[in-house]
Amino acid sequence: MEEERIKVLSFPSDSPPLSIIAAAKIAGIALPTQTSTSGSLTLSFSNGLELHGNYVILRYIGRVAAIRNFYGDDAFHAAQIDEWLEYAPTLLLGSEFENACSYMDIYMEKRTFFVSHSFSIADIAIWSGLAGAGQRWESLRKSSKYRNLVRWYNSVSAEYSDALNEVTALYVGKKGLGKQVAAKPKEQKSADGNSSDKVNLGSRPSSEIDLPYAELGKVRLRFAPEPSGYLHIGHSKAALLNQYFAQRYQGEVILRFDDTNPTKESNEFVENLIKDVETLGIKYQKITYTSDYFPKLMDMAEKLIKEGKAYVDDTPREQMQKERMNGIESKCRSNSVEENLKLWKEMIAGSERGLQCCLRGKLDMQDPNKSLRDPVYYRCNPVPHHRIGAKYKLYPTYDFACPFVDAEEGITHALRSSEYHDRNAQYYRIQEDMGMRKVHIYEFSRLNMVYTLLSKRKLLWFVQNGKVDGWDDPRFPTVQGIVRRGLKIEALIQFILEQGASKNLNLMEWDKLWTINKKIIDPVCPRHTAVIEERKVLLTLTDGPDEPFVRIIPRHKKYDGAGEKATTFTKRIWIDYADAEYISVNEEVTLMDWGNAIVKEIIKDQDGNITQLVGVLHLQGSVKTTKLKLTWLAETSELVNLSLVEFDYLITKKKLEEGEDFLDALNPCTKKETAAIGDSNIRNLKQGEILQLERKGYFRCDVPFVRPSKPVVLIAIPDGRQQSMLK
């Protein structure tokens, strides 16, 4: 179908599609327009066919326009353009407008256009979204807040001034400044009204969550952690999204260990990463290691040297970094193939001369994207490898190994967090130089949590300096740490999938995750009773049972599966001091799981502290009339000693700014232990079992009962809402 067969573009009078009209003007495509009352956006053709929807029509204009690369010069760039078309509606959301501007300002720091090196319909879509925002954008444009974005916007406005000025004069003015311009197609809104970039994997039909270029039954993904630490909540998002797409497309996931840095890696980390991946329920097809491919990677490096696509460089590291920043070519860049091969052999031997060198790719030292400025492919490292010993004296970088192994293993889609966006071009260029099959990159936003460090280097500092008990410490964001603190994996999966494959940078609250967790554990976890040891108060019921007796009652009143527990009833019972303080003489209170009692006497010491209470049972009293509902324990030798442990964040700032030292934000007090006594049934708890101590919160059994002198250790589980009763 040719563009001259276009009949008319129809749109609602209050929603002219600025991006389509601007694209047609710039491309010189005749586009008759008319307003309609149907409320739909339609491009009609003379043969009776129609296209509907803003970005469907914009893509059509991009394809038929006689402008080079208007819709990308290959499938990958077209897919990148599609991503920006999906992102553009964010500018129509009032609450998200400045967040979007901030994100794009950072993105455009080193770029001239939004995709590759050519003006495209992605630029038109974003430009139209900003122009259509009217006064709101104009105010920001005049400020110095978003310099990179304004530079790009002004450049586009000047380059295509005739067409764009005509369009804005006709349509933006007609709509009124600050009002919505481009119609937002229904198919790009999720159930909650947000743009489709924020996909809710948990609730939306799976058919709506697509992996570009995916074929049913042919998708192969990989989850590739570096074995230099334990899996943390950020890695979990990548792992679970890989599994989601594998299931969605009836494909498979490979678990690959990116073991290219022997200085940081160990078998301990490999073993625990496997454990963590299995804890998450990831069904991987097989385990591989980048080190399995070291011989092939060496051959590929030598091939690139011989083809003039790589060279050996002995420039000192700091000087090399400065040269890359400034686009200065290394003095070694023009070395002959023979000289490079000679130095390459020195590197392989780990000789004194070889240790001074690294292997670099010969890409483009003038590229605005600095990742393409001759990245390092191999570095010498005499440290033995944890799997293969001292066989090698040099190791490939992640940048070199990853695109090779992805292609070699038949990976169809590499899921990477958007923080690596600028390195995507490098990934594809290296694959191209290697002559290997192209692997599609699919981006998602990195998961960041408030008051949380996810850098393995920083987490290692806490371990090495004894600030935590290990990588599974409940204060750590590792999978083992948060599970030990009482998080159910189902809650983590739900939390992560609710965010979907969003490209937006997220700083998430822990409270949301713990709220999801509470909804999972509360309906099923057993109820037990504890009294804080310090200043606990004895309540003597003068008409209570002369001989203790036991009743068997449910551990959870609404869930039979929790089982039963034995509760002892006696004349003398323990209650918390904090409860005793609120009781008045002759007040009727409710003793939970027993009935009402009336406190007749409050005995205090010389300092005014309550030491004892005396009362009588009033079992016929109504629990509805009492103000205080008290937990209590019978005074018996069967009570269990408890240590109730609470944790706080390791740092005191929600988010560390770039360049800010985490050591300056350390929380001086992150652990609190409270001695308590618990009911006799607690001695039957198993390690890992979750329970609720009534009126005190949820806990996970960390150390079960061994002997009376050693307390059972219960770790407090946050519920996303209440402040601890232990404080």
What's the pLDDT score for residue 244?
A: 87
Token output for 567: 């509760």
CA dihedral (76, 78, 81, 83) positive or negative: negative
CATH 3.90.800.10 location in the chain? 291-398
Any idea which of 146-155, 264-273, 527-536 has the lowest mean pLDDT?
Answer: 146-155
**Per-residue confidence band for 284, with pLDDT thresholds at 50, 70 and 90:** very high
**Cα-trace Rg, the chain:** 33
> Helix, strand, or coil here: 474?
coil
- Cβ neighbours around 549 below 10 Å, total: 11
The rounded distance, in Å, linking the Cα atoms of 599 and 318 is: 77
Residue 444 dihedral angles phi and psi, to the nearest 5°: -140, 160
Query: Mean of the per-residue pLDDT values for the chain?
Result: 88
Any idea which of 172-186, 334-348, 373-387, 399-413 has the lowest mean pLDDT?
Answer: 172-186
Let me know: does 55 contact 17? Beta carbons within 8 Å: no
Token output for 138: 């104009």
Residue 407 dihedral angles phi and psi, to the nearest 5°: -65, -40
| Bridging pattern class, strands 564-569 and 697-703 | unpaired
Name the CATH superfamily housing domain 449-488+509-535+635-726: Ribosomal Protein L25; Chain P (2.40.240.10)
- pLDDT tens figures, 572-585: 999 999 999 999 99
Segment (H or E) for 698 = strand 697-703
Report CA-CA distances (Å) from 36 to 13, 23, 40, 44, 202.
7, 21, 8, 13, 38
What's the pLDDT score for residue 634?
A: 97
Residue 633 dihedral angles phi and psi, to the nearest 5°: -135, 140
Cβ burial 369-407 (10 Å sphere, 16+ → b, else e): bbbbbbbbbbbbbeeebbbeeeebbbbbbebbbbbbbbb
- Cβ neighbours around 215 below 10 Å, total: 11
The rounded distance, in Å, linking the Cα atoms of 27 and 203 is: 41
- pLDDT tens figures, 43-102: 888 888 888 888 889 998 988 888 888 898 888 888 899 888 888 876 666 567 787 888
| Span 682-700, average pLDDT | 96
For the domain covering 6-171, report its CATH number. 1.20.1050.130
Token output for 210: 């697509």
Token output for 522: 């509360």
Q: Taking Cα atoms as reference points, which of 688, 283, 280 lies closest to residue 493?
A: 280
What's the pLDDT score for residue 179?
A: 33
The rounded distance, in Å, linking the Cα atoms of 41 and 689 is: 57
**Per-residue confidence band for 722, with pLDDT thresholds at 50, 70 and 90:** low
Burial-class residue 578 by CB neighbours within 10 Å (0-12, 13-18, 19+). Answer: exposed
- pLDDT tens figures, 640-657: 999 999 999 999 999 988
| Span 356-383, average pLDDT | 96
Q: What is the dihedral of CA 478, 479, 483, 489, to 10 degrees?
A: 150
Q: Taking Cα atoms as reference points, which of 78, 76, 45, 75 lies closest to residue 59?
A: 78
Let me know: does 147 contact 105? Beta carbons within 8 Å: yes
Q: Taking Cα atoms as reference points, which of 525, 560, 558, 576 lies closest to residue 699?
A: 525
Token output for 240: 């679970």
The rounded distance, in Å, linking the Cα atoms of 562 and 577 is: 30
Please determine, for residue 726, whether its predicted confidence score (pLDDT) is greater than 60. Answer: no
Token output for 544: 């209570």
What's the pLDDT score for residue 194?
A: 31
Report CA-CA distances (Å) from 104 to 71, 100, 368, 419.
20, 6, 17, 13
Q: Which CATH number fits domain 537-575+577-630: 2.40.240.10, 3.40.30.10, 3.40.50.300, 3.60.110.10?
A: 2.40.240.10
Let me know: does 589 contact 625? Beta carbons within 8 Å: no
What's the pLDDT score for residue 209?
A: 55
Angle, CA 19 vertex, CA 14 and CA 25 arms, to 5°: 110
What is the residue whose two structure tokens read 């860049």? 333
| Span 245-262, average pLDDT | 94
What's the pLDDT score for residue 206?
A: 30
Residues marked active site are found at: 226, 446, 456
CA dihedral (45, 47, 52, 57) positive or negative: negative
| Span 420-439, average pLDDT | 94
CATH 2.40.240.10 location in the chain? 449-488+509-535+635-726, 537-575+577-630
Please determine, for residue 723, whether its predicted confidence score (pLDDT) is greater than 80. Answer: no
Q: Which CATH number fits domain 291-398: 3.10.129.10, 3.90.800.10, 3.20.20.140, 2.40.50.1070?
A: 3.90.800.10
- pLDDT tens figures, 187-241: 333 223 332 222 233 333 233 457 888 888 999 999 999 999 899 998 999 999 9
| Span 3-12, average pLDDT | 76
Token output for 713: 């250790």
Let me know: does 648 contact 607? Beta carbons within 8 Å: no
**Per-residue confidence band for 501, with pLDDT thresholds at 50, 70 and 90:** low
Token output for 611: 């030491």
CATH 1.20.1050.130 location in the chain? 6-171
What spatial distance separates the first Cα and last Cα of the chain, rounded to whole Å? 72
- pLDDT tens figures, 525-546: 999 999 999 999 999 999 999 9
